[in-house]
Structure 1
Amino acid sequence: MAQIFQRNNTWGYRVWLDSKHSKSKSGFKRRKDAYNAAIELEDKRGKNLLSEDEGISFPDYFNKWIKTYKLGRLDRTTESKYITASKVITEYFEGVAFKDVTTTNYQTMLDDYAKTHAKDTTRRFNSYIKKAVKYAINDGIIYRDFTFGAIIDGLKSKDSSLKFLEIGEAEALKKVCIETWSLNSITRAEILFGLLTGCRYGEVAGLTWDCVDLNKQTVTINKSYDYVSRSGFKPTKTETSNRTISISDETTDMLETLLEQQDILFKKHHFKNPNKHVFINNRHQVPSGNAVNKTLAQILNDISAKNIITFHGLRHTHASLLIAHGISIDYISERLGHSNVSMTYRVYTHLLENVREKDNENTMDFLNNL
């Protein structure tokens, strides 16, 4: 039974959780308010909804949540994004109880964030918080999802056409890489591989010879490589990023020649390539992301490309070329290792609109001539 008491002209309550522990709170202006709060607490106790995080602040819960469920389980880049999100939450909601966050003040924070960030970045930021809110509801710390119905705004991203190469630029890039790559210029081999497979750079840097089947002309992507701090292999970005994809004749020829060059040079150096890296240079090193982007920019400038992209732009280029040639979006999604087809639709919606227009024209031609 709750104990209601008066102290310094205000009211308070004490609720016993068990024979030794209790919770109390004072400062209520009316006895009725203290009584109702005590009844609510007793109801939660009866339903086993009380938590050690009862009354925890929004920033403290989010920080505790990412330490429990995210840090140490994701790649460093993604972890840093969660840490940055935690700093933003602390800036806006320091000292604010999680249960006191309203839809309105959350939207206000989101709108302020969107003023200096791209829409995709704002959407990702909201998704992090939305996940934490679901856990908090399940833990009985809050009872409503204040992220529900959140409106996502943000700065307009750079023109999407700048993120990938036109077909003529892609053909010129491919030609240069085929003609100039070598073990001494391994970044050019990586660029060729990225263009013809759509793999992320971490996946390219993490490719090992035991995952290459030259006879079947396939490569298996089952890990990535930390090319920033060079701490070694790490898991792929998502579970669906693990995949086996077919490779072209030109990609196969390049890999066969690369294996031969490595065999000759590494024997000369008495180097056994213990990690079986495919893309490792003559100095037995995996190139950094900066190195491969520098080479890519140099080649694109040499061929007078309109679009100077990074290595990740090769992934978009690969997808855009397949879309332009009518390849199934389901297949493209699997080849890229996207978590689901809807993600592929969202990323390449601007390209798919052109395909839809073409499909519409073909449909009308068919129906008009039926």
Structure 2
Amino acid sequence: MINEVNNTILFWEYFEKWIEVYKKGAIRDVTLNKYYMSLRWVKKLAPNLHLGDLSRITYQQILNDYALDHEKQTTMDFHHQLKGAILDAVDEGLIPRDPTRKAIIKGKQPRDKKIKYLNQYELHTLIASLYLKEEISWDWFILLVAKTGMRFSEALAITPKDFDFSRQTISVSKTWDYKGSGGFLPTKNASSVRKIQIDWQTVVQFSTLVKNLPEEDPIFVNKKIYNSTANDVLARHCRETNIPVITIHGLRHTHASLLLFAGVSTASVARRLGHASMTTTQKTYIHIIQELENKDIDLVMRSLSTLG
């Protein structure tokens, strides 16, 4: 690594150098920022701990202290980031044994996270309130996310070339760096690269809208973009139509929820949303899946009762 790195270096200093050498330039900025956030916590929780003094007890104490302010899943993510650096230190002979072995992951009780989404009537009401004129606007953006379930950054990156109107699909193959300096970035994961089927009405609307636009330029980006701007426009529509106020991400949840309630399989919804696995979809929409299971039980019982 770097010549001055030995087991007398402070642990947080080693972790900082490790991030610079192995992570900077190799991962997306949003992920890199999470590593730097972990670094700040290590510096706060163990400012004087030397790398050579890392043991199972000292490491577990760091995790325990971190867990006092974080939920279990967040503590697990923190642990995985530190473990990557520590295992490299073990490989380099800076630490004799792996202090992360058999680490116990604790955390605060997670808060009830009620996903905000609209029902079918509310979504129809919202869409009817959109002012879809000939010029590009946030109203068109709201319609696109409602009809496709795309992530905010994915929808921002859509260009006219991504539409295949004859096959009624939109290709999602990139995102827009709205948190940074702009420009295209890779998708969140490999599963996020996908083609989304769209209805004929959306085809007609967007084929007219993008007809004279540059093929490879993002449709909705002409200056610095802020997530809050789109959310403010959406919130205004919600208040004006007297429906629950949701965010752009809430529109993604609305899209998925309506598909699940319509009987679309979890596997198909997962593919449409670009989830890495069905497990993500099941975890996110567990309350809806449970509701559907309860309906299925009622249907089974009614069917069985007619057999006598």
Distance in 2 between residues matched to 1:349 and 1:57, nearest whole Å: 43
> How far is 1:118 from its partner?
4.7
TM-score using structure 1 length: 0.71
When residues 138 and 362 of structure 1 are mapped into structure 2, their CA distance, relative to the original with a 3 A threshold, is farther
1:296 to 234, 242, 247: 234
2:187 to 216, 236, 243: 236
- Percent of aligned pairs with the same amino acid: 30
- The answer (yes or no) to whether the contact 1:120–1:154 under 8 Å persists in 2 is no
TM-score using structure 2 length: 0.84
- Which amino acid in the other structure matches residue 146 of structure 1? T
Q: Could you say which residue in structure 2 is the equivalent of 1:101?
A: 54
Range moving further from structure 2, 75-84 or 90-99: 90-99
> Is 1:227 aligned to 2:173, yes or no?
no
Q: Could you say which residue in structure 1 is the equivalent of 2:110?
A: 156
Range moving further from structure 2, 128-137 or 165-174: 128-137
- Which amino acid in the other structure matches residue 246 of structure 1? Q
- Which amino acid in the other structure matches residue 268 of structure 2? Y
Q: What's the secondary structure of 2:171's corresponding residue?
A: strand
Range moving further from structure 2, 54-63 or 193-202: 54-63
> How far is 1:135 from its partner?
4.5
- The answer (yes or no) to whether the contact 1:222–1:236 under 8 Å persists in 2 is yes
When residues 146 and 228 of structure 1 are mapped into structure 2, their CA distance, relative to the original with a 3 A threshold, is closer
When residues 362 and 275 of structure 1 are mapped into structure 2, their CA distance, relative to the original with a 3 A threshold, is same
RMSD (Å), alpha carbons: 2.9
Q: Could you say which residue in structure 2 is the equivalent of 1:349?
A: 286
> Is 1:362 aligned to 2:303, yes or no?
no
Tell me which structure has the larger Cα radius of gyration: 1
> How far is 1:247 from its partner?
1.3
Q: What's the secondary structure of 2:231's corresponding residue?
A: helix
2:98 to 144, 147, 150: 144
Moved over 6 A (4+): none
Distance in 1 between residues matched to 2:89 and 2:285, nearest whole Å: 34
What is the total number of aligned residue pairs between the two structures? 303
When residues 290 and 359 of structure 1 are mapped into structure 2, their CA distance, relative to the original with a 3 A threshold, is same
Q: 5+ unaligned residues in a row in structure 1: which ranges?
A: 1-50, 267-272
Q: 5+ unaligned residues in a row in structure 2: which ranges?
A: none
Distance in 1 between residues matched to 2:60 and 2:20, nearest whole Å: 25
Deviations 1:201-238 (A, max 9, x none): 11111111221101101111111111233431111112
More strand by share: 1
Distance in 1 between residues matched to 2:306 and 2:98, nearest whole Å: 56
Q: Could you say which residue in structure 1 is the equivalent of 2:166?
A: 215
- Which amino acid in the other structure matches residue 239 of structure 2? N
Q: What's the secondary structure of 2:210's corresponding residue?
A: helix
Greater RCO, 1 or 2 (C-alpha within 8 Å, sep 6+): 2
Distance in 2 between residues matched to 1:190 and 1:181, nearest whole Å: 10
